Amino acid sequence: MEQYRQEQGQKWTVQMPLCDRQILTEISADVSLPDYQPEIKRLLRVRATALPTDKYVGAGSAEIAGSVEYRILYTGNDGGLYCATHVEEYRLSVPVERPLDFEPSEGIVCDAVTLAEPAVFRAAAPRRISLRSRLRTRVRMYGLRAPEERILGKAPGEAERLMGRAECARVFFGNGETRSLADEILLEDASKEWRVVSAEGQVFVGDATAGSGTVICRGEVCLQLLCAAETDGETCLLLRRIPFHEEVPTDGAEVNCACRADGVCTELRVTVGEGKILCEVGLRLRTVAQRNETVSYTRDLYFPSVLAEVRRQELLLPKALRCLNGNFSLNTTLAQGGLAVAKDQRILEATATASAAELEGEHGKLFLKGSCHCQVLLSDEREITLQETDIPFRYALEGVSEDAVEDWDASLEVVSCRARADGERMAIDAEIAVSLSAYGKTRILTVEEVELGESVAADAAAYRICYPSREDSLWSVAKRYHCPIEALCLGNDLGGTAAADSPDSLAEKTYLLL
């Protein structure tokens, strides 16, 4: 019955949250067009993408720095399509209180993810755009906590301890360096002189596998280029997927960890050559690895020779439930009153972003609910317009989970989006990549403080007889009579596999010799 054996003063640690905060930051910018681009006739869209953050954890705060890239699509005064880019930096500081029973520096891990909400924009002048957007930064920090067990008074030797075991999550984060990828796209009509209006890249991680101190990521960078001919303004849409295989250093990760990854494209450059377009893009990946560890803790204790009052504390231990990469398709024909295509219009391009709102459980399955915001660029003989709509989704995660989800985090990327005319209505086909972690909680009661009292009076009798009730257990009897567990077992031929605080631990004994 090792449930009650532990050396007095043995230290145990668990990884617990130090900080989990969401910070809202407002940023604004005035962007001037470069001299070589025409003036603005009509602003069509502005896409804001938050690039990976840099983090510094100090004694009392976490310093976060990052940047947001804006891609501005507009029609010029010559009727053509043009795109301008702008990068705006931001900084924020998050105060962190570190309780006394947390290790001062060992095992601190921090993750900060920023999402940019849709930008508000207007043309402030023929060559100047005013931008404003709100950023949501979630900062999570974990540290190693060593729950303190205080004994008030001089302990008379070792205590008899009732031990418990529980699963507790260990979470690790990794950030890769920027890796350069390149590929060529051949032009179908090389007789025309083409220019790239806009170029966007999305990261699709198809598989993430944990190794020793690393997470191995496989996937594709999905490029979408909107091009226009210099002579007649004809447009074409070019798609290309560049595969990657990358190892991201993730301190603490082991082969038994579940893991996930997501990423972002940086420094996307395109060069138009003879009959082809050279694409160069930077890839930066972020990883999360997690596993459950079994921890042992003291549920109760007593001293055979001294009276003691035991006070306990409740701890809610995080438990790792799910950590995965997945993807799903969203195919829908919009109802009457939604996006529509007139007879004289043609679809130039469709782009989309996705956001998660809720992770709900139903019959042992987990479902991720959210919406996909689609923007479709349309053209007729007179002008280029933009239509947009929100499409809800409900994605069923693979596998079964019986535990209740208490916390979760998800990153979604629309890696491809296509719009097509279905009569006068519009049909949307999108592929959405998902990177998700889910956590539960385990409630435990552990000894926090023991106040020692008077010595237990010695009994003159050689033996005492105890007649246990149905609710009694080996632990309750031994604690009530201040008898060492081992002596009670040896004197009554006890020693099965049942837990010391279970009625089965008495093996249906009708009386015990103490």
Confidence bin at 268 (pLDDT 50/70/90): very high
Tell how many helices (H) and how many strands (E) occur in the chain: 2, 24
Tell me the CATH architecture of domain 459-514: Roll (3.10)
How much of the chain, in percent, has pLDDT values that exceed 70? 95
Q: Measuring CA to CA, how many Å separate 309 from each of 8, 302, 312?
A: 17, 9, 10
Confidence bin at 130 (pLDDT 50/70/90): very high
Classify burial at 331, counting beta carbons within 10 Å of its beta carbon; exposed 0-12, middle 13-18, buried 19 or more: exposed
Q: How far apart are CA 1 and CA 493, in angstroms?
A: 13
24's tokens: 């809202």
> How much is the pLDDT for 422?
81
Task: Please name the amino acid found at residue 479.
Answer: K
> How much is the pLDDT for 401?
74
DSSP string, 329-340: EEEEEPPTTSSB
**DSSP-derived secondary structure letter, 303:** B
Name the least confident of 134-138, 168-172, 239-243, 465-469.
465-469
What is the average pLDDT across 305-330? Answer: 94
Q: How far apart are CA 204 and CA 264, in angstroms?
A: 9
**Nearest alpha-carbon partner for 200 in 217, 225, 176:** 225
What is the average pLDDT across 80-99? Answer: 90
What is the average pLDDT across 461-485? Answer: 88
pLDDT in tens, 421-441: 887 788 999 999 999 999 999
Confidence bin at 336 (pLDDT 50/70/90): low
Q: How far apart are CA 207 and CA 330, in angstroms?
A: 21
Give domain limits for the chain: 14-146, 459-514
DSSP string, 73-108: EEEETTS-EEEEEEEEEEEEEEE----TTB-SSTT-
SS3 assignment, position 489: helix
What is the average pLDDT across 365-379? Answer: 93
**DSSP-derived secondary structure letter, 475:** H
**Nearest alpha-carbon partner for 302 in 503, 483, 51:** 483
Residues 25 and 56 sit within 8 Å (Cβ to Cβ) = no
Q: How far apart are CA 501 and CA 212, in angstroms?
A: 39
Confidence bin at 507 (pLDDT 50/70/90): confident
